[in-house]
Amino acid sequence: MAEPGRSGTTTAPRAGSDVARRVAGSAAAGCALAGAVAVTFAVVAGPGPGLTGYVSEAGIAGSGHAATYRIGILALAGALLLLGAALPPGVWAAAPALLATGAVFAALSGAVTCSAGCPLPPFERATTADLVHGGASIAATASVVFAMLTLAVSVPVGPVVRRLAGVTAALALPLCATVGLAMLVVGRGAVVGVLERLVLALVVAWGLATATALALDRRQASSL
């Protein structure tokens, strides 16, 4: 028989849900790491333009590592869904909703590939697929950054997750704004390429660190 808790209810269901959330956190960390490795390999090993181009160019049709890139993006999308499932009860509903939205748009950006060079307005003529891919990528990143802001002020997640979210959001927001401005002012090039990689690295690192923190039990996470 399950031991009754202070409120008169059994502690077994709560313990089971805690275990399920920790498992989801561990799976999210694994997906984030696998996705980051796959995307990085595709970008570095592919014949792309290096730091002067977009990360998405590794997934264009005909690229030698397009499949690896797309698998990596889907793994990162899965990590976002699992991260939302790992959040404790009582967290603002906006946080898991934003993470799920980010996952959907990330998966869409992986499924709809851009054409060579991933052209975007106002400096280049873009196809419908280019616009869908670019819009999905931007929406995915924005959703995750807004999820960070929500978690930064959500008490139930604990101090470690709040600090991770707050610090990363403080770094990511000005970088995202600079990327958007650079795309409108100078277009595709080294400036946008480097800034885009910094934003993506921050988002992935945050996801991996947050998933790891959630995978730990509450006492461990609070003492980090």
In this predicted model, what pLDDT tens digit does every residue of 25-42 receive, in sequence order? 999 999 999 999 999 999
Per-residue confidence (pLDDT) for residue 45, from 0 to 100: 85
Confidence category of residue 64, pLDDT binned at 50, 70, 90? confident
- The whole model's pTM is what? 0.87
Per-residue confidence (pLDDT) for residue 53, from 0 to 100: 84
Place of tokens 């002067």: 52
CA-based Rg of the chain, rounded to a whole angstrom? 19
Q: Do the Cβ atoms of 181 and 191 come closer than 8 Å?
A: no
Using alpha carbons, select from 210, 195, 204 the residue that is nearest to residue 162. 210
What SS3 class is residue 141? helix
